[in-house]
Amino acid sequence: PLGAGWGIPMPMCYPEVQVDWPAKQHRLFYHATDHGGGAPGIPRRRIVERLEKEVRSEQLDIALYSSQQNRPTPEEYHARMARALVGVSWNGAPNTDCNRYWENFAYGLAQVAEHPRIEIPDAPMDGVHCLYADSPDEVPPLVATLLAERARATGMAERGHHHFRQYHSSVARARYFVDHLSRIT
């Protein structure tokens, strides 16, 4: 958590994705679970409802699932993600990390993400690698901005992906961990 002093920050990571990058479609990709209507799903439902009102439907590839069932296969999910230009990451739980945050970077999406509540070494920077939001209601306008400014979104996606590979892929995270171990031994 932010401000904790009980160890080195060790956020989640994601493997480097080895794909031939397809041409990016001018679309948002956001698939998530709404936890069967539970509290963690409330902000995600709010985001989707507002996106459906504020962004043209042909620019949306969005879905909420009540459970892990009836979702696309991982291969289809990742193929659709890789083709999109913009992504959303929203966890909602305090002091936790979110896999989708790192996954969006790995697949080269310009993302609108919940402002991190954890310490992240070499953290992605707001406006450079992604756009951060502090509330679910901030997400749709930021998504609309990225979709309206394709060159900005493309540059952000490329910078975010490069930063991810340099500092936050599974290989980079392992290097970070080993580096810290070597300092204490």
Whether 19 has a pLDDT exceeding 70, the answer reads: no
pTM: 0.90
pLDDT of residue 127: 98
Rounded Cα–Cα distance for residues 62 and 77 (Å): 11
Whether 125 has a pLDDT exceeding 90, the answer reads: yes
pLDDT exceeding 70 applies to what percent of the chain?
93
pLDDT of residue 70: 85
Give 136 or 18, the one with higher predicted confidence.
Answer: 136
Whether 95 has a pLDDT exceeding 70, the answer reads: no
Burial call 53-71: b when 16+ CB within 10 Å, e when fewer: eebeeebbbbebbeeeeee
Residue 130 tokens read as 């992604």
pLDDT of residue 17: 77
Rounded Cα–Cα distance for residues 52 and 113 (Å): 18
Q: 43-83, pLDDT tens digit by residue?
A: 999 999 999 999 999 999 999 998 777 899 999 999 999 99
pLDDT of residue 147: 97
Of the pLDDT bands very low, low, confident and very high (cuts 50, 70, 90), residue 181 is confident
pLDDT of residue 22: 67
Mean per-residue pLDDT of the chain: 89
Owner of token pair 């997400």:
139
